[in-house]
């Protein structure tokens, strides 16, 4: 076969098209410049595209009636509006949905939509594929970091969920996808530039239009980045606390060896606009015999004194080979009672989508209610 290349010839196969949906305004404008749009018009074109892509959820250029035919053709020859491939999509009997998204071959991440009892619901998104943190109870912690997700890839998780829920345009009333939580795979504060750019796009009132107050970023405790997160994004803060003393926390959340509880809480207190209307969420995974004593519940209350906070007790979801068990239901309730008496309302998070293993980061879930029922059944058999 002849292998000489004719460099003057335009190739028959077009260059790979680039994805356009999910880009920030700045990135869209840069693309319009690169495409050769007149310099005075790049912003106007970016705004038009934002409206089609992020307000209407457009998946083709043909319907973009305020953009001339010639430019539409040029756009279609350079970009595509496809979402990343969906490797797997599961819907639970309780309405929870989970997607395994293939951002590129070998780079797969999860997002999970969790409908609330009312019309609202949260999408749990990933910020990295894999993780560097090695928290001992977390399944993602057993996987090496593959890479950071780009801002566009983070936003694409919301586009995919909106497509499935049929919630375009963005002004649709009673949107099911009302909140976003960065509690999927990865440590968002180790990918802060992309997370901040994604939050700009998600909260843009002319686009996807999810308010910053409905976007929560969860961190294992990258203390120096916490105030910066608030300044750059205006998002709500969640802290994966899981232990109230440094020795235990350093064991189960190893980043505590770098930023101990005192350093962490100084950073939390510096989070902008904290007050009763704007509280920090503390997540606390219930590990049997490890962190679930009543003394620890009381120390938790003491630790949070002076910080406007909410507490989420999370029943541990076992995964194959995990070194822990979930605390007994009675223990979780007793722990929660200490918190309730200190003024924290209903802090136990009910696992959802257990039939599709939908908790983020492959946290294969068993409902605490089921385990309580199982336990009662077991007790009945035994006794
Ligand atoms: N790195 C960030 C974002 C990941 S979300 C962070 O640590 O906050 C991580 C949350 O998932 C943790 O707060 C924890 O509550 C939850 N999680 C991880 N593994 C879990 C497991 N096996 N069972 C229950 N919750 C788990």
pLDDT digits (tens, 9 = 90+) for 91-121: 988 889 999 999 999 899 999 999 987 778 9
- Ligand 1: lining residues by beta carbon, under 6 Å: 137-139, 183, 187, 218-220, 240, 283, 285, 314, 316-317, 360-361, 363
pLDDT of residue 11: 47
In this structure, the strands spanning 309-315 and 79-80 are: unpaired
Tell me the pLDDT band of 325, cut-offs 50, 70 and 90.
Answer: very high
Each residue of 124-182: pLDDT tens digit? Answer: 999 999 999 999 999 888 889 999 999 999 999 999 999 999 999 998 888 999 999 99
In 3-state terms, what secondary structure has residue 15? coil
Closest CA to 241 of 285, 186, 297: 285
Q: Which atom of ligand 1 is nearest to the CA of 238?
A: 8
Among protein residues, the one whose CA lies closest to atom 18 of ligand 1: 138
Average of pLDDT values for 348-360? Answer: 71
317 alpha carbon – ligand 1 mean position (Å): 10
Q: Which active-site residues does the annotation give?
A: 110, 360
Query: What is the Å distance from ligand 1's center to 138 Cα?
Result: 6
Q: What is the pLDDT of residue 117?
A: 74
To the nearest whole percent, how much of the chain has pLDDT over 70? 89
Kindly report the average pLDDT of the chain as a whole number: 89
What fold is seen in the domain 85-356?
TIM Barrel (3.20.20)
Two structure tokens written together for 317: 């979801």
Report pLDDT for 359: 58
> For residues 200 and 19, what is the distance between their CA atoms, to the nearest angstrom?
18
Q: Which of these, 178, 126, 129, lies nearest to 157 by C-alpha position? A: 126
How many angstroms does the Cα of residue 83 sit away from the middle of ligand 1? Answer: 27
At residue 41 the predicted structure's pLDDT band, cuts being 50, 70 and 90, is: very high
Residues in the chain: 383
Write out the two tokens for 329. 């239901």
| 260 close to 228: Cβ distance less than 8 angstroms | no
For the stretch 193-213, pLDDT in tens is 999 999 999 999 999 999 999
**pLDDT-derived band at 14, boundaries 50, 70, 90:** low
Ligand 1 pocket mutation pick from 363, 365, 367, 371 by most atoms within 8 angstroms of CB: 363
Q: Of the ranges 39-48, 167-176, 304-313, which one carries the lowest mean pLDDT score?
A: 167-176
Ligand 1 atom nearest the C-alpha of 133 is: 1
What global pTM score does this model have? 0.90
241 alpha carbon to ligand 1 midpoint, in Å?
10
| Ligand 1 midpoint to CA 295 (Å) | 23
Distance 9 CA to ligand 1 centre (A): 54
Residue of 186, 86, 197 whose CA lies nearest to 139: 186
pLDDT of 32 above 70: yes
- What topology is assigned to 18-80 in CATH? DNA polymerase; domain 1 (1.10.150)
Q: Which residue has the higher pLDDT, 365 or 300?
A: 300
Q: Give the residue extent of every domain in the chain.
A: 18-80, 85-356
The best mutation among 131, 133, 183 to test binding of ligand 1, ranked by most ligand atoms within 8 Å of the C-beta, falls on 183
Nearest CA to ligand 1 atom 20: 138
- Considering only CA atoms, which of 328, 340, 333, 334 is closest in space to residue 374? 328
Please indicate whether the domains covering 18-80 and 85-356 agree at the CATH topology level.
no
From the CA of 315, give the closest atom in ligand 1.
Answer: 24
Closest C-alpha to ligand 1, atom 19? 138
Mean pLDDT across 261-271: 97
């Amino acid at each position: 076969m002849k292998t000489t290349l004719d460099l003057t010839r335009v190739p028959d196969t077009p260059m790979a098209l680039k994805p356009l949906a999910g880009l920030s305004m700045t990135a869209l404008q840069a693309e319009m410049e690169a495409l050769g749009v007149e310099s005075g018009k790049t912003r106007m074109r970016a705004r038009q595209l934002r409206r089609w892509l992020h307000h209407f959820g457009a998946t083709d250029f043909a319907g973009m009636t305020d953009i001339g035919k010639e430019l539409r053709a040029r756009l279609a020859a350079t970009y595509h509006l496809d979402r990343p491939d969906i490797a797997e999509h599961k819907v639970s009997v309780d309405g929870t949905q989970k997607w395994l998204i293939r951002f590129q071959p070998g780079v797969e991440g999860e997002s999970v939509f969790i409908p609330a009892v009312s019309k609202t619901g949260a999408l749990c998104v990933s910020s990295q594929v894999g993780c560097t943190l090695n928290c001992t109870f977390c399944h993602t912690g057993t996987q090496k970091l593959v890479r950071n997700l780009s801002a566009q890839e983070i936003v694409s998780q919301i586009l995919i969920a909106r497509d499935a829920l049929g919630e375009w345009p963005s002004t649709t009333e009673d949107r099911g996808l009302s909140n976003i939580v960065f509690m999927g795979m990865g440590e968002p504060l180790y990918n802060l530039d992309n997370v901040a750019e994604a939050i700009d796009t998600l909260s843009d009132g002319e686009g996807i239009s999810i308010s910053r107050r409905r976007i929560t970023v969860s961190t294992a405790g990258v203390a120096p980045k916490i105030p910066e997160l608030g300044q750059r994004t205006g998002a709500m803060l969640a802290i994966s606390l899981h232990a109230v003393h440094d020795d235990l926390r350093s064991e189960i959340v190893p980043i505590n060896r770098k930023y101990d509880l005192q350093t962490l809480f100084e950073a939390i207190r510096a989070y902008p606009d904290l007050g009763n209307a704007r509280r920090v969420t503390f997540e606390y995974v219930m590990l049997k015999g490890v962190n679930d004593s009543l003394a620890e519940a009381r120390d938790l209350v003491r630790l949070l004194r002076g910080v406007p906070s909410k507490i989420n007790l999370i029943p541990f979801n076992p995964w194959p080979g995990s070194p822990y068990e979930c605390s007994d239901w009675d223990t979780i309730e007793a722990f929660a009672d200490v918190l309730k008496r200190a003024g924290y309302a209903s802090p136990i998070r009910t696992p959802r989508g257990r039939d599709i293993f939908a908790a983020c980061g492959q946290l294969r879930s068993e409902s605490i209610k089921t385990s309580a029922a199982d336990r009662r059944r077991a007790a009945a058999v035994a006794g």
